[in-house]
Amino acid sequence: MELSSGLFICFLLWGGMKLCYPQPLWRSQGEGFPSAMPSAMPSVMPSAKPVVVECLEAQLVVTVSKDLFGTGKLIRPADLSLGPEGCEPLVSMDTDDVVKFRVGLHECGNSVQVTDDALVYSTFLLHDPRPVGNLFILRTNRAEVPIECRYPRQGNVSSRAILPTWVPFSTTVLSEEKLAFSLRLMEENWSKEKMSPTFHLGDTAHLQAEVHAGSHVSLRLFVDHCVATPMPDQNTFPYHSIVDLHGCLVDGLSDASSAFKAPRPRPNTLQFTVDVFHFANDSRNMVYITCHLKVTPADQAPDKLNKACSFSKSSNSWSPVEGTADICECCNVGDCGLPSYSRRQPVVASQWSKFSRSRRHATEEADVTVGPLIFLGRAGDHDTEGWTSPAHTSMALGLGLAMVAFLTLAAVVLGLSRKWHAASHPMSASQ
């Protein structure tokens, strides 16, 4: 009697006999397809499987019947989610009688467990009904269905060769260090590197900028800007701009004849001359030159941001090494598009012994420093040059030693003479 009255109350509250018994739960079996757990009331179980799981190679496909509880009352797709992260189902039409999920095995917060013989991916399907519209009631239950996919860890494989997916370290380094920039002092005929760092005021320094691209596509090198400083740090003071405004050799505007050499020997090489100088009131008489080098594809036409322009005093105009003359017009107005970067921190700063040998960079631009350039004085100033030349130094040292020897000998002779004279006077007195 108590059982009958309980069922009657349950029927009035929930609207049906089937909801008055515990809901069935599903779990995935070894092949990834869920099956119903045993139930004491087989008559209330749905004939078709409400949840079907497909364990694919890299994905998990879950198909859910809208008649999830077998009551004829369809659930809403918006009330379903998969996994701890609550992944939403695929978009379905109102006429579809199933709701599908398709996710990666590692998505939606799925957990993985490694056993001796299998990889086990676990997750769950959640039905969490929410009120519709302005109603505050629910007509279906909250349900959580565990899902599991098992993959065997042992099996036969093909005997064909396996291609490695890793890249050798040497190949990786080569791809990262694909460009090598250099800035060198050259002899007057540009045939070889200048081996002496000394100059006289009035001489001309010949500088060659170059980039070695290796297997890279053909490139054209530009000197974006250059600055001279008494120390390797280009941000020190005083400083003197040699190239500025993205390729304008502004040192040629003064009383110097500094200029780019045209034509280029090669697209990846750019040569230019600078009339040497030193900083006033600086006793070190040395200068470092830091240049910012960059490259563009060789087939790209020069423009205002990528150019090499020299100033000609005879024509009072700028002319490019290559390209149309209008790309140099901005050198006159001092505005070539982007701000100048001539005071940036250099990347490479070397002493004369290294002379900024080729150094690799992963980027397509770099700052390279050459120096120090040491100045001995004005050309023809033999008084200054004589004391710095090794031959003249040896001659001066020899003359000094000869003078010391002569004075020593003279002192000895004078001493002996006085001694002899002092010894002869007593003899004269006794007579």
Q: What is the DSSP string of 294-349?
A: EEEETTSPPBTTB--EEEETTTTEEEESSS-GGGGTHHHHT--SS---TTSPPS--
Strand order in the sheet with 269-275: 259-260, 269-275, 204-212, 179-186, 359-361
Domain 178-382: assigned CATH number: 2.60.40.4100
Show Cβ contacts of residue 54 under 8 Å, excluding neighbours closer than 6 positions: 32, 33, 60, 61, 62, 63
Number of residues that this document lists for the chain: 431
pTM higher than the cut 0.75: no
What pLDDT, on the 0 to 100 scale, is given for residue 330? 94
Quick one: 125 exposed, middle or buried, by C-beta within 10 A (0-12, 13-18, 19+)? buried
What pLDDT, on the 0 to 100 scale, is given for residue 278? 84
* Cβ-contact 373, 205 below 8 angstroms: yes
What pLDDT, on the 0 to 100 scale, is given for residue 69? 83
DSSP-assigned beta bridge partners for residue 248: 244, 309
What pLDDT, on the 0 to 100 scale, is given for residue 164? 53
Comparing 24-152 with 178-382, is the CATH topology the same?
yes
Quick one: 272 exposed, middle or buried, by C-beta within 10 A (0-12, 13-18, 19+)? buried
Domain 24-152: CATH superfamily, name plus number: Zona pellucida, ZP-N domain (2.60.40.3210)
Profile the chain (431 residues) by mean pLDDT over runs of 10 residues: 44 44 39 37 52 90 89 86 92 83 91 86 90 71 88 66 51 55 94 91 92 79 94 89 95 90 95 91 87 93 95 93 94 81 42 35 76 74 43 55 72 71 53 41
Each residue of 155-185: b (16+ CB within 10 Å) or e?
eeeeeeeeeeeeeeeeeeeeeeebbbbbbbb
351: tokens are 């002493």
What pLDDT, on the 0 to 100 scale, is given for residue 216? 64
What pLDDT, on the 0 to 100 scale, is given for residue 251? 93
* Cβ-contact 279, 288 below 8 angstroms: no
Q: What is the DSSP letter of 78?
A: G
So where are the chain's domains?
A: 24-152, 178-382
